[in-house]
Every structure is written in C-alpha cells, then in structure tokens.
Amino acid sequence: MPSERIGLMIRADSGTGILHQLTGVIARHTGDITTVEIIESRLAESQVYFEVDLPGESARLRDELASLAIVRDVQIVNSLQKIYGKRIIIMGGGAQVGQVAIGAISEADRHNIRGERISVDTIPLVGEQPLADAVRAVARLPRARVLVLAGALMGGEIEKAVREVRDRGLLVISLNMAGSVPEAANLVVTDPVQAGVMAVMATADTAKFNIERLKRRVF
C-alpha cells in the first residue's frame, strides 16, 4: 500500500517520556516520522507536530493516539510540505535581500499558480560570524532547497559555511559581490532580481531550468 504523508497536531501533557509514548503509537502503525517539532511547551501542556509517511488509515492512528491518557487532542492536518512546499532562503544586506525577494516571489507566484508550492524566507543580517552561523543553520531547516546570499562583501567564515552546506546538498546562489563567497557558490548572478528568479527556477518541478546543464556559472 503506498504511503501518504500526513500532519498530526497533538496537544498533550508536558513531562518526561511524552514523545516516547507518542512515537511508540506511530511506530505500531508503521508510520515513518519525517518531521517532529515541539510547537509550544508549557508547564501543563505541550503541542507537538509530526509529519508521518503512513501506509495505513490515518483515522485509526488518530484514534489510538487520542486514547492515550497523556493526550488531550489530536488533529490530522495537511503537511507543511503540501501547504508551503520547498523553501528558498535569502539572507544578507537588507536592500539586496529585498531585491532578490522581488524576483523570487514574483517567479514563485507564477509556478504556484500552476500547482507548485514554493515559499520564500528572508533575513537581513550583517557581520561575518552571524552570517556564517545562519548559513550553517539553513542545512537544518526543513524543506530548504536553495540559499541566496545577497550582499556587497562576504568571505572568510561565510565561505567555509557555504562549502559545508553545499556538501550537504544545498544549492547556493550568490550575488556577484566582493569577497570569496562567489567562488564557493554554485551560481553567481549579478542582478539581484534575476538571482531570485533563477533560485525559483532551479527548485521548481514545473520549470525546465537545470543548473547542471549551464555552460557557465557567472551571469
């Protein structure tokens, strides 16, 4: 039986062993947990979100979870992959980030109308270490597919971070800026709006653009 990815939003008691009990039920239904996040944890209650690839009936899993003494409510919801889809992360200087976002959002809208799901996240940042930390953290973000570095000068520790996340399969696009980051990126684009457009084209299933087939990497 093919698996279906579902989202589970669970309100449960707080305390030691709560996740163990919840995941035990999911395992008994042969559910493969792809995402787990504690949305909120208070003294008396926690909200836990799971995404699960489930081969069986979701209603049976929901009912068994709801029967646990620690559980207060269980809702089956659409997965974040289905709602928000693949993520493009844009970081760097505020003005450049804004211009890249214009291109990315405009292009994502065109593909989302055709059935894609692509979302755009932005964070203006300054400083070598904060940017390097943020680059490394992108590899831990769920559904992140492309990182666009938008600024005037980036190098040093940021370049090292770019090479690390590229080794983990993340596509990195850099504006054509001073510093060594452009040398480490998959693709270098001079125009920030075009950089945003190309980021979406590179990740969209509804686009025919393939970065591996480009004969040059600087535009």
Q: 149: pLDDT confidence band, cut at 50, 70 and 90?
A: very high
pLDDT > 70: percent of the chain: 95
Residues 105 and 61 in one domain: no
Burial 19-41 (b: 16+ CB within 10 A, else e): eeebbebbeebebeeeeeeeeee
Compute the average pLDDT of residues 122-146.
93
pLDDT of residue 173: 94
What is the tens place of the pLDDT at every residue in 96-114? 999 999 999 999 999 899 8
Residues 91 and 48 in one domain: no
Question: Pick from 190, 207, 203: which is nearest to 150 by CA?
Answer: 190
Residues 178 and 88 in one domain: yes
Show which of 81, 102, 136 is a domain's final residue: 81
* Domain of 150, in residue numbers: 84-213
φ/ψ of 155, rounded to 5, equals: -170, -160
- Single-letter code of the amino acid located at 183: E
Residues 88 and 182 in one domain: yes
What is the tens place of the pLDDT at every residue in 29-84? 999 999 888 887 677 888 999 999 999 788 999 999 999 999 999 999 998 888 89
**CATH for 195:** 3.40.50.10550
Split into its structural domains, the chain has a count of: 2
Sequence-distant (6+) residues with CB within 8 A of 165 are 135, 136, 138, 139, 147, 172
Residues 179 and 207 in one domain: yes
Asked whether residue 34 is domain-assigned, the answer is: yes
- Round to whole Å and give the CA distance between 93 and 79: 32
Q: Kindly tell me if the per-residue pLDDT of 165 is higher than 70.
A: yes
Residues 99 and 201 in one domain: yes
Show which of 55, 81, 107 is a domain's final residue: 81
Residues 10 and 106 in one domain: no
The single residue listed with the structure tokens 């998959």 is 186
Residues 104 and 208 in one domain: yes
Residues 29 and 137 in one domain: no
Residues 73 and 95 in one domain: no
**N-term to C-term CA, the chain:** 47
Q: Are 162 and 149 in contact (CB under 8 A)?
A: yes
Residues 17 and 125 in one domain: no
**CATH for 25:** 3.30.70.260
pTM (predicted TM-score)? 0.83
Residues 39 and 97 in one domain: no
Q: 27: pLDDT confidence band, cut at 50, 70 and 90?
A: very high
Asked whether residue 136 is domain-assigned, the answer is: yes
Q: How far is CA 145 from the centre of its chain?
A: 7
**33 vs 218, more confident:** 33
Asked whether residue 219 is domain-assigned, the answer is: no
Q: 1: pLDDT confidence band, cut at 50, 70 and 90?
A: low
Q: Are 160 and 180 in contact (CB under 8 A)?
A: no
Show which of 81, 98, 117 is a domain's final residue: 81
Asked whether residue 218 is domain-assigned, the answer is: no
φ/ψ of 182, rounded to 5, equals: -55, -30
